[in-house]
Amino acid sequence: MNNKVPNNRAWLLVLPMLVLVAFSAIIPLMTVVNYSVQDVLGPNARFFTGTEWFQSMLNDDALQAAFLRQISFSLIILAIQIPLGIGIALIMPKRGWQASAVLILITLPLLIPWNVVGSIWQIFTRGDIGLMGWGLRELGINYNITRNAGDAWATIILMDVWHWTPLVAMLCYSGLRSIPEAYYQAARIDRASKWAIFRYIQLPKLTNVLVIAVLLRFMHSFMIYAEPFVLTGGGPGSATTFLSQSLTTMAVGQQDLGPSAAFSLIYFLVILLVSWVFYTTIMNMQKDKPPHGGA
């Protein structure tokens, strides 16, 4: 028997996966590519537009503004959630029933669906019946997320921090648990301070989970849709209109299929590009640290 038979079988085994990926990713993506380079007027009326949609999308003022808002939003929540998540992981109990209890409590926000989170916060911030809205009003603070852009931003950020910091905390917690106890003992014997333990043992050992946390949180936050949509509807004005919402308005509201397809592809490439640049930078940083000039 020659070697060809097992080779052909291997292809056969890969086939179901290829079909699945084709339907789940390749065909939808190619449909979008198809729309992005054509103007579709009706079932039998279309013409090729080349890069026209891409150019007009890139030069659209409203989209550029949404893009800047999106970048600011992602950077702000990363700047808050990553340090906060590490901090929470550090003070979480390490063993016993307390550890399980805290883990469950902390995970709860992660289990709530996005639009429910939006609704919860929408009610929470209402001036008449919401605990936070009413409380702030009673304290004499003029808090109104439908009128004041600053309030809307602060609330969305607070909401995202509440919803997603637990993910960062859990990733860090698992990273911390994997550090052998002997490291801490050795540090105590070396008379290392708490800060030194954090800086030279815990943080380096957390690098890998932190890369995952930053990537996940960046991608997630860059695609945020349901929560601000339910909470503020993108307002006041367009102060909290992020990229997905602009896209939805364009594609579903106005049925501008060509431009929204082009926009989707740009959106997708931006996320891919940022994630890739971030990942390779971190990995290269780990690989070639500057040599020490000692001895």
> C-beta of 191: minimal distance to another protein in Å?
5
The answer to whether the CB of 131 falls within 8 A of the CB of 125 is no
Q: Does residue number 94 form part of the binding site for another protein (CB under 8 A)?
A: no
Closest CA to 145 of 230, 242, 249, 220: 230
Shortest Å, Cβ 185 to another protein: 6
195 binds another protein (CB under 8 A): no
Q: Which amino acid is at 142?
A: N
Is there a contact between 77 and 160 (Cβ–Cβ < 8 Å)? yes
28 contacts another protein (rule: CB under 8 A)? no
Neighbours of 6 (CB within 10 A): 9
* Minimum CB distance to another protein smaller for 183 or for 225: 183
Cis peptide before 236 (omega within 30 of 0): yes
Cβ density class 230-260: b for 16+ within 10 Å, e for less: bbbebbbeebbbbbbbbbeebbeeeeebbbb
Q: How far is the CB of 96 from another protein (least distance, A)?
A: 12
Q: With contact defined as beta carbons under 8 Å apart, do 234 and 245 qualify?
A: yes
Q: Given the rule CB under 8 A, which of 36-44, 80-88, 164-172, 188-196 is the region that contacts another protein?
A: 188-196
**Are 233 and 125 spatial neighbours (Cβ–Cβ below 8 Å)?**
no
Q: Establish if 177 lies at the interface with another protein (CB under 8 A).
A: no
Pairing of strands 38-42, 45-48: antiparallel
Does position 65 interact with another protein (CB under 8 A)? The reply is: no
d(CA 241, CA 152): 11
How far apart are CB 202 and another protein at their closest, in Å? 10
Instruction: Give the nearer residue to another protein in terms of CB position, either 200 or 225.
Output: 200
11 vs 195, which CB is nearer to another protein? 195
The span from the CA of 127 to the CA of 144, in Å, is 7
Closer by beta carbon to another protein, 4 or else 191? 191
* By CB under 8 A, residue 294 contacts another protein: yes
Residue 201 near another protein by CB under 8 A: yes
For the bound state, the minimum distance from the C-beta of residue 209 to another protein, rounded and expressed in Å, comes to 14
Judged by CB under 8 A, the chain residues 271 through 290 that form the site for another protein are 289
Does 200 engage in binding with another protein (CB under 8 A)? yes
In the complex, minimum distance from the CB of residue 180 to another protein, in angstroms, rounded to a whole number: 6
257 token code pair: 């299929």
Q: Supply the minimum distance, in Å, between the C-beta of residue 204 and another protein.
A: 4
- Residue 195 and residue 23: Cα distance in Å, rounded? 51
Q: How far apart are CA 183 and CA 202, in angstroms?
A: 9
The amino acid that residue 211 corresponds to is V
Q: Does 99 bind another protein (CB under 8 A)?
A: no
Q: Please report whether residue 291 would count as binding another protein according to CB under 8 A.
A: yes
Q: Does 198 bind another protein (CB under 8 A)?
A: no
> Minimal distance in Å, beta carbon 212 to another protein?
18
Binding another protein by CB under 8 A: which of 189, 195, 255, 284? 189
Report CA-CA distances (Å) from 53 to 40, 63, 112, 243, 268: 12, 13, 37, 17, 15
Provide the binding-site residues for another protein, judged by CB under 8 A.
180, 182-183, 185-186, 188-192, 196, 200-201, 203-205, 289, 291-292, 294-295
